[in-house]
């Protein structure tokens, strides 16, 4: 029988720490966790002292979003009711689903793209030549 899903921070015996939506279930003589879209969160501090977070998928070389983990591999498990953490997790999952399998976004002038190397080289040469006259 699968218990209701809940958000949790999972600390493995290996030292790894993930945040995910988790459901516990009994299978034969052991308890396993079904972990959905696990992420790793890293706190980033800027030089000015402000704090942000970097969110990455737990496993970077797979497209799977559901994992089975033996309870015996877990050091501790903490259910989360932190709304800010849950919202960051949901936003990350939504944005990664929107991108789908194509992880490249289109380049636009708003992102700083001005042209290809040859066009830019020509433009800079014209500017340089005009300044030499």
> Which pTM value belongs to this model?
0.67
Angstrom distances, CA of residue 65 to CA of 20, 76, 119, 127: 10, 22, 43, 52
3-class secondary-structure state, position 121:
helix
Q: Residue 49 domain-assigned?
A: yes
Q: Residue 12 domain-assigned?
A: yes
Q: Residue 54 domain-assigned?
A: yes
Q: Residue 64 domain-assigned?
A: yes
Q: Residue 115 domain-assigned?
A: no
Nearest to 17 by CA among 45, 51, 41, 52: 41
Q: Residue 1 domain-assigned?
A: no
**In which domain, by residue range, is 14 found?**
6-101
Residues 13-42 pLDDT 10s? 999 999 999 998 888 888 899 999 999 999
What is the pLDDT at residue 57?
Answer: 93
pLDDT tier for residue 68 given thresholds of 50, 70 and 90? very high
Task: Please calculate the CA angle 84-13-42 and round it to the nearest 5 degrees.
Answer: 35
Total tally of structural domains belonging to the chain: 1
CATH number at residue 97: 2.30.30.100
pLDDT tier for residue 4 given thresholds of 50, 70 and 90? confident
Q: Residue 81 domain-assigned?
A: yes
What is the pLDDT at residue 98?
Answer: 67
Q: Residue 110 domain-assigned?
A: no
């Amino acid at each position: 029988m699968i218990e209701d899903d809940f958000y949790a921070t999972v600390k493995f015996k290996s030292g790894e720490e993930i945040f995910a939506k988790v459901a516990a279930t009994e299978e034969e003589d052991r308890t396993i966790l079904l972990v959905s879209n696990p992420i790793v969160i890293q706190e980033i501090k800027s030089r000015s002292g402000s704090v942000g977070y970097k969110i990455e998928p737990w496993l970077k070389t797979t497209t799977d979003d559901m994992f089975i983990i033996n309870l015996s591999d877990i050091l501790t498990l903490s259910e989360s009711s932190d709304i800010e953490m849950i919202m960051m997790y949901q936003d990350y999952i939504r944005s990664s689903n929107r991108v789908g399998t194509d992880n490249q976004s289109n380049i636009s002038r708003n992102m700083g793209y001005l042209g290809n190397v040859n066009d830019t080289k020509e433009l800079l040469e014209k500017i340089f030549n005009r300044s030499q006259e």
